[in-house]
A and B are shown apart, each in its own frame.
Chain A
């Protein structure tokens, strides 16, 4: 079965750029979706199909996907961006989630 791997945690200084990776075999051939989950809340879609932002998501959130790594980039990080982030792909009509990355804004 297909697996995707995320770092357990990423730290970023306030106002700097955070990058969260999602690794998988030839993941660049798949569409990657990213979700933000704050404590006690449901996940929210922040990037879909590698690099598209849903309505209402700030331009500070961007995504890329190539080779074996997809990346969620958060520019000018704010305290409100502290959350868990999950990448997700479909593989043979099955959802595969990464294990999640806890983003800490220092």
Chain B
């Protein structure tokens, strides 16, 4: 079972603040992903990475940015939070093989007031 950790679990923050959502995995997986999901709605891919110094935008336009300086760490940053950013953010990792499943973290539920 993959170990993938997201912090914080819940975050309530005011408009205009800069925030970083943390995601770390201990399985040495090359691929990592960030998804955004509103309650009862589908998953939307916002960023992904195939390895160190490799990041790409996903299908959903996002004002967030990501970095991948170390294999195990894939933080997501919002420079200026807005109420429209209120959502659940899910991090996932995957081995390099195309046949490998994604393993998800517990998510960060973000509320911007």
User: Do A and B belong to a common assembly?
Assistant: no
Residues on B facing A (Cβ under 8 Å): none
Residues on A facing B (Cβ under 8 Å): none
